[in-house]
Amino acid sequence: MCLKPGDILRDRYQIIGKLGEGGFAKTYTANDALGSPENPLCVVKEIPPPESNDERLLEEAQHQFEREAQTLKYLDNCPCIPKLIDRFQEQGKFYLIQEYIDGNPLNKEIVSGRQFQESAVIDLLLDILSVLECVHSQGIIHRDIKPSNLIRRKLDGKIVLIDFGAVKAIGTLAIENGQITQTRAVGTDGYMQGERILLNTVHQW
């Protein structure tokens, strides 16, 4: 069931509208006037738990969720990663609250038939690499680099990296032969690195 405009989470975050929807989660814009009156707009990521009553699977989903939240907190000092504002569970679902980035994803900028000057391509790649350098300096990998996860921020034209993959990590958990498995590697076909594709069978715990 979707959140609706006007719904309030945790007595604080008032939903404005749906921002996007993927196979494993929904995102919404929300107003956080109570916590951030000077900059109230934020993003709510709603992640449903695995469709199972197996306690082991639910515990692993909780672990994946907490790991994602901790990863985002580690990256608070990276200016081109949306800051984590809050994390919690409500009515059985996981929620991440993050800074809203006003801008356009690169999949809307890099379109078929559009040509770029060499200098523009170099500038873009250097901008993206500077974000990855900050992430990797914290010992963290993203696992789903693609144009739709790279936003050019309107404020300064810088590239911002979003969506670190907990959604798919939780959404692909299952029980097979009595063991917790991840039914596919985190990533997107066409953008996933080769070594991840080779591991795209099953991960077991």
In a domain, 29, yes or no: yes
Of 99-108, 133-142, 185-194, the least confident: 185-194
In a domain, 3, yes or no: no
pLDDT above 70: residue 135: yes
In a domain, 25, yes or no: yes
Q: Which of the listed ranges 113-117, 125-129, 173-177 does the model predict with the highest average pLDDT? A: 125-129
Range of the domain at 186: 8-204
Q: Which listed residue (144, 156, 163, 189) is catalytic?
A: 144
- Per-residue pLDDT of 16-27, as tens digits, reads 999 988 767 899
Dig out the tokens for 124 from the structure: 């873009």
Active site residue 144: yes
| DSSP string over 28-45 | EEEE-TTT-TTS-EEEEE
- The share of the chain scoring above pLDDT 90, in percent, equals 47
Average pLDDT over residues 26-38: 89
- Per-residue pLDDT of 168-200, as tens digits, reads 667 666 666 666 666 566 667 767 666 555 554
C-alpha triplet 169, 46, 153: angle, nearest 5°: 90
C-alpha triplet 74, 94, 52: angle, nearest 5°: 125
Strand arrangement, sheet containing 179-182: 173-176, 179-182, 203-204
pLDDT above 70: residue 31: yes
Measured distance CA(74)–CA(160) in Å, rounded:
16
Query: Phi/psi of residue 37, each to 5°?
Result: -60, -25
27 neighbors 45 (Cβ within 8 angstroms): yes
Measured distance CA(139)–CA(136) in Å, rounded:
5
**Is the pTM of the predicted complex or chain greater than 0.85?**
no
Q: Please report which confidence band the pLDDT of residue 205 belongs to, taking 50, 70 and 90 as the band edges.
A: very low
Residue 179 DSSP SS3: strand
- Per-residue pLDDT of 49-81, as tens digits, reads 877 777 888 888 888 888 888 888 888 889 999
Please count the structural domains in the chain. Answer: 1
Output DSSP code: residue 139: T
In a domain, 2, yes or no: no
Q: What is the pLDDT of residue 202?
A: 42
Dig out the tokens for 132 from the structure: 């990855």
In a domain, 121, yes or no: yes
Q: What is the pLDDT of residue 67?
A: 82
Q: What is the pLDDT of residue 203?
A: 45
Q: What is the CATH number of the domain that holds 192?
A: 1.10.510.10
In a domain, 1, yes or no: no
Average pLDDT over residues 147-157: 95
